[in-house]
């Protein structure tokens, strides 16, 4: 099992950051690597068990199921159902923690998955760098521009 962990500090209150990312269908609005997204079967985007179907900007199609969502803990967990990446048993959690000194947010994004041993480094770098850090960088840029 591979584990990827990325953390960052966003110069905005956790409430504001959570409002931007909470919607499980909102990836295209805040993550630069996502082209479009839809929730299957017309379900609400905050219903645990709903499935989002989205395309990356390079044309990949990914389906993910929302496993948990907590407004109290500012966190969500999800699992990949289908992906061109070649990962199995993929689960991830995105969590925000208020930093009361300065009204900032400590953001953590982690994932665990299985993959071919030969691709461990490549997939860890892709997920940790382009997906997780890429999302945090976009959030930091968004809140700097406010």
- Helical pair 14-21 and 134-144, crossing angle rounded to 10 deg: 120
Would you kindly state where each structural domain of the chain is located, as residue ranges?
2-144
Q: What are phi and psi of 102, to 5 degrees?
A: 100, 5
| Digit-coded pLDDT (tens) for 52-108 | 999 999 999 999 999 999 999 999 999 999 999 999 999 999 999 999 999 999 999
Nearest alpha-carbon partner for 75 in 55, 51, 59, 98: 98
Q: Residue 86's Cα: distance from chain center in Å?
A: 18
Q: In this prediction, what percent of the chain has a pLDDT beyond 90? A: 98
What is the average pLDDT across 15-24?
97
Topology annotation, domain 2-144: Alpha-D-Glucose-1,6-Bisphosphate; Chain A, domain 4 (3.30.530)
This prediction has a pTM of 0.94
| Digit-coded pLDDT (tens) for 96-112 | 999 999 999 999 999 99
Residue 146 pLDDT grade (very low, low, confident, very high; cuts 50, 70, 90): low
Q: Compute the 3-state secondary structure of the chain and give helix, strand, coil in percent, each to the nearest 5.
A: 30, 40, 30
């Amino acid at each position: 099992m591979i584990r990827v962990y990325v953390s960052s500090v966003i110069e905005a209150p956790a409430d504001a950051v959570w409002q931007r990312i909470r919607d499980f269908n909102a990836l295209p609005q805040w993550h630069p690597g996502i082209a479009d997204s839809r929730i299957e079967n017309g379900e609400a985007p905050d219903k645990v068990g709903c499935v989002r179907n989205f395309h990356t900007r390079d044309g990949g199609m990914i389906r993910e199921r929302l496993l948990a969502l907590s407004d109290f803990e500012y966190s969500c967990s999800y699992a990949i159902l289908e992906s061109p990446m070649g990962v199995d048993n993929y689960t991830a959690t995105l969590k925000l923690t208020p930093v009361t000194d300065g009204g900032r947010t400590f953001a953590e994004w982690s994932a665990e998955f299985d993959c071919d041993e030969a691709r461990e480094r490549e997939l860890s770098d892709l997920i940790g760098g382009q997906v997780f850090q890429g999302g945090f960088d976009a959030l930091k840029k968004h809140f700097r521009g406010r």
